[in-house]
Chains A and B, each alone.
Chain A
Amino acid sequence: MNKKQKTLLWRIIIAAIFFVPLYLISEEFIHIEGFPHWALIVLFLVPYLLVGHDIIRKAFQGIKNGQVFDENFLMTIATIGAIALGEYGEGVAVMLLYQVGELFQSYAVGKSRRNITELMDIRPDYANIEEDGKLVQVDPDEVEVGSIIVIQPGEKIPLDGVVVEGSSSLNTSALTGESLPRKVEEGSEVFSGSINMSGVLKVRTTTEFDESTASKILDLVENAASRKSKSENFISKFARYYTPIVCVAALVLAIVPPLVILLTSGVGTGHHALWHVWKDWILKACTFLVISCPCAVVISIPLSFFAGLGGASNQGILIKGSNYLETMSQVKTIAFDKTGTITKGNFAVTTVHKSPIDEKKLLEYAAHAEAHSSHPIARSVREAYGKYIDMNRVADLEEISGHGIVAKVDGIAVAVGNDKLMDKLGIEHEECEHVGTVLHVALDNVYSGHIVIEDEIKPNAKEAMVALKAAGVEKLVMLTGDAENVAKSVAAEVGLTDYRAQLLPADKVSCVEELLKECTGNKRLAFVGDGINDAPVLSRADIGIAMGALGSDAAIEAADVVLMDDDPKKIAKAIKISRKCINIVKQNIVFALGVKVVCLILAALGIANMWVAIIADVGVMILAVLNAIRCLFVKNL
């Protein structure tokens, strides 16, 4: 509890100690002959002002600023009204219980705020730099790129970098949600925010602190809360209109029914009877005001979203805003990029076929042609060749997107690529009976065989698709630039509902657009990719999910939802988290408003009095807040 909360707690306790006995014996006082009535009012005003003075002050401040209608105003009018009508006990009790509710709310929000920040506790406090053989602790902000930092066991890695000395295992759970430690040795890349568990590491930094993984993630999570969802915007608008409407309704309730009663039935022509009827209805109006206080809904909705975002980020799922949480819960179609999403993306050359020349020679030509390409397939060809690539032998290199590469190697025209490239060059090529990515090679426009490259399917991919289907996702479509037979076999093995093969990068966008057209009503489409070449698709989909984003800035920027590791099961988890969160928000709206409506009717009918009103108000608020906190618990979804 902070200082403000403690002060409020003491005010509540002291006021309660004073108020409860006073309330219990006040009935007796009234019957004591000669006991002055004003003394009773003064006695009640002591706990009232002690516990409620700030509310009254804020209400007046609101009036002064032209923002009359807020909950302070509601409470002030209702309690002053009750006291003025001689219901001292009720007036004080309402203020007292209202403050109990406020205290609880402030405590619960503060507590969950702390819990959530603890979950995301990846901010490093210091970096160790070696100076004259001694370790000096410095602010990570001051470490320049390329410095050598030392990380001892148990310490947090302050900056991204490459290990230059030592080996250890790292706990990356705060970043990825993955509890298995990651082994690192000389040459491995390490990310800030992970914790060094066993050995001493010397790391050469590759980023400044502001650009490091830890800073980026923290930044993203902090900004997430400022992207408000539709329900949050709805509630703030709602509160803006709701309170004035309720006040007017209360005013009507205080004036119209008694007038009608008086005029129609002419009950009691005496002053006493008239006052009695009127008092009765004004009290009903005050009760009405107490019930209508909107705090339960106003606080529980942002709290639910915040807890949901916090819980998700603890699982290595970064969601960039509550609006995305909302969209995510409605996802019915998911389009996947194949490489890096469903498959591991570490291609390996498995065979070389139908080559009239020596296989090794064929690989040599292919590897030289692919020398500059960063495509994983090119990398695998170079790895299969395994020897030094002499760039002096290569000339006129041209990469044709979605097709392949043409170049001159040792003066021979080499074309390496897929069926489309061969068709384009007018070279007849042979089909391969193997399932895999086929890379045709033509030398001087003569077909010279093909290289078969295979990619491993991720071990979790199949389970992930089952989980997605169980979560109610109707269509699972894979988009790939790969050949038809590869796409078909992967789709069948993993359990996808559909696939589109042989797509050029630009085709993926139109494919997603086509799928978007099929999403009618509240159905939403998500695209999952590794964020490297698919930024346009990620932004075109209703929601873009990037996987394996740890260390990839491009993915973090382009996507709406970022999965830090590359486990496809996290997609289903993200959907379940969003559903849980949205359900809790809906429950709270329906529950809080439902109880209010029932109580309002009861109050207007005269069945519910002020006691019922305040207990309903505070009770609903407490239950709604507790329910909202459930959003934080998403580990076992």
Chain B
Amino acid sequence: MKKSYKIDVDCAACAEKMEVAAKETAGVKDAVVSFMTLKMKVEFEDGADPEAVMKEVYANCKKVEDDCEIYL
């Protein structure tokens, strides 16, 4: 399953960090962050609960870049 989320972040490098953090989260198959459109596209593993996974993604993103926001 794929879902798209609106995000807020200040720089391209920070967006890159968020992408890496999201990809490494359990339950996430793939993630792409576009700094230009301020969107995060997440593809979930089969059977993963998007809501729970996204909470983890959010926490992991905050860890690497506390100046970021994901609108869940």
Q: Residues on A close to B: CB < 8 A?
A: 4, 54, 58, 61-62, 65, 67, 70-71, 102, 105-106, 109, 113, 222-223, 225-226, 228, 236, 239, 295, 298-299, 302-303, 305-306
Contacts and interface: CB of A to CB of B under 8 A. Distances in A.
Nearest to B4: A222
Interface of B is mostly: mixed
A65 B59 CA distance: 13
B10 A299 contact: no
Contacts of A65: 63-64
Interface string B39-61: 10100000000000000000000
Interface in B21-72: 32-39, 41, 63-67
Contact of B12 (A54, A222, A226, A302): A302
Given A226-B41, A295-B11, 10 more contacts: A61-B64, A61-B66, A65-B63, A67-B17, A70-B17, A223-B41, A225-B39, A226-B39, A239-B13, A298-B12
A628 to B, nearest CB: 11
Nearest to A2: B8
A485 to B, nearest CB: 50
Contact of B11 (A67, A105, A225, A236): A105
B59 to A, nearest CB: 13
Given A67-B17, A71-B13, A106-B10, A306 B32 contact: no
B11 A302 contact: no
B70 to A, nearest CB: 15
- Most B Cβ at <10 Å: residue of A62, A113, A226: A226
A562 B41 CA distance: 22
A566 B69 CA distance: 42
B10 A4 contact: yes
A299 B38 contact: no
Contacts of A303: 36
Contact of A226 (B11, B34, B66): B34
Contacts of B63: 65
Contact of A225 (B17, B36, B64, B66): B36
B36 A306 contact: yes
Contact of A102 (B11, B33, B66): B11
Contacts of B17: 67, 70
A109 B13 CA distance: 13
B4 to A, nearest CB: 8
Interface of B: 4, 10-13, 16-17, 32-39, 41, 63-67
13 contacts: A222-B39, A223-B41, A225-B37, A225-B39, A226-B33, A226-B39, A226-B41, A228-B32, A298-B12, A299-B11, A302-B12, A302-B34, A306-B36
Contact of B34 (A4, A62, A102, A225): A225
Nearest to A105: B11
Contacts of A299: 11-12
B37 to A, nearest CB: 5
B64 A113 contact: no
Nearest to A228: B32
A113 B36 contact: yes
Contacts of A226: 32-34, 37, 39, 41
Contact of A222 (B10, B37, B64, B65): B37
B30 to A, nearest CB: 10
Contacts of B67: 54, 58
A302 B32 contact: no
Contacts of A54: 67
Contact of A239 (B16, B33, B34, B39): B16
Contacts of A302: 12, 34-36
A61 B21 CA distance: 14
Nearest to A226: B32
Contacts of A228: 32
A559 B13 CA distance: 31
A153 B39 CA distance: 34
Contacts of B36: 109, 113, 225, 302-303, 305-306
A222 B35 CA distance: 11
A298 B13 contact: yes
A70 B16 CA distance: 11
B21 to A, nearest CB: 9
Nearest to B32: A226
A113 B7 CA distance: 14
A65 B14 CA distance: 13
Interface centre among B35, B37, B64 (most CB of A within 10 A): B37
A327 B41 CA distance: 23
B14 to A, nearest CB: 9
A254 to B, nearest CB: 25
Contacts of A61: 64, 66
A112 to B, nearest CB: 9
Contact of A106 (B11, B16, B41): B11
Contact of B16 (A58, A62, A236): A236
Contacts of B38: 113
A64 to B, nearest CB: 9
Nearest to A301: B12
A236 B13 CA distance: 8
Given A61-B66, A226-B41, A70 B32 contact: no
Nearest to B60: A65
B7 to A, nearest CB: 12
Contacts of A222: 4, 37, 39
Contacts of A236: 16
A299 B36 CA distance: 10
B64 A67 contact: yes
Contacts of B11: 102, 105-106, 295, 299
Contacts of A113: 36-38
Contacts of A4: 10
Closest 6 CB pairs of A and B: A306-B36, A225-B34, A226-B32, A225-B37, A225-B36, A299-B12
Instruction: Pick from B11, B17, B39, B63 the residue with the most CB of A within 10 Å.
Output: B11
A225 B37 CA distance: 7
Contacts of B4: 222
B22 to A, nearest CB: 12
A377 B39 CA distance: 45
Nearest to A227: B32
